[in-house]
Amino acid sequence: MSVTISKINDKESLRKFVHFGIDLYEGNEYYVPPLIYDELATLNRAKNPAFDHCEATYFLAYRDNEIVGRIAVMINYKANERWNHKQARFGFVDFIDDVEVVDALFGAAESWARFRGMEKILGPMGFTDLDHEGMLVEGFDQMGTMATIYNYPY
């Protein structure tokens, strides 16, 4: 079955977006989940002051009506102006081990960024450089902290 991408447009979908990033790692003894309230606040335009100079959207990937991936894509206009570039950022990226899911998620993020005139997309990053950034490339069998990103080795 093919992958479909859905843009987040309501609170219920945003909760699904946040929970997928936790549910994917259920049972993984090394994963330390974030505080759900903090994740929702970070992604909420009314609560996150970064939205004064950022634009963002969030996508969920579905297969057979089941969520199989997520990605956020954002533009920090203040950083782009300061550094004189046109780049988007991606973050909050999690997915099952399936290249079709990955291609669909990054395709949606890239299209969104290009439509807004961006020439690059970098990540994993947050809205600002004070947010969580990067990805785990080793230490998958070591306990992380709430302040770090965890991902599977794929």
Residue 148 pLDDT greater than 90, yes or no? no
Tell me what percent of the residues of the chain surpass a pLDDT of 70.
Answer: 100
In the 8-state DSSP scheme, what is residue 138?
A: S
Identify the three-state secondary structure at position 120.
strand
- Token pair belonging to 1: 């079955």
As a whole number of angstroms, the distance between CA 28 and CA 2 comes to 27
Separation in Å, CA 98 to CA 20, 68, 84, 146: 16, 9, 36, 26
CB 135 within 8 A of CB 94: no
Reported confidence tier of residue 48, pLDDT bands at 50, 70, 90 = very high
pTM of the prediction? 0.95
What confidence score (pLDDT) does residue 41 get? Answer: 96
Looking at residue 95, its pLDDT comes to 98
Per residue in 130-145, pLDDT tens?
888 899 999 999 988 7
Whole-number pLDDT of residue 138: 92
Q: How does residue 88 score in pLDDT terms, banded at 50, 70 and 90?
A: very high
Angle at alpha carbon of residue 136, lines to 132 and 142, rounded to 5°? 110
Going by CATH, does the domain composed of 4-122 fall within 2.40.40.20?
no
Cα separation of 88 and 122, whole Å? Answer: 6
The pair of three-digit structure tokens given for residue 117, joined into one six-digit string: 């005139």
Q: What is the pLDDT of residues 3-14, one digit of tens each?
A: 999 999 999 999
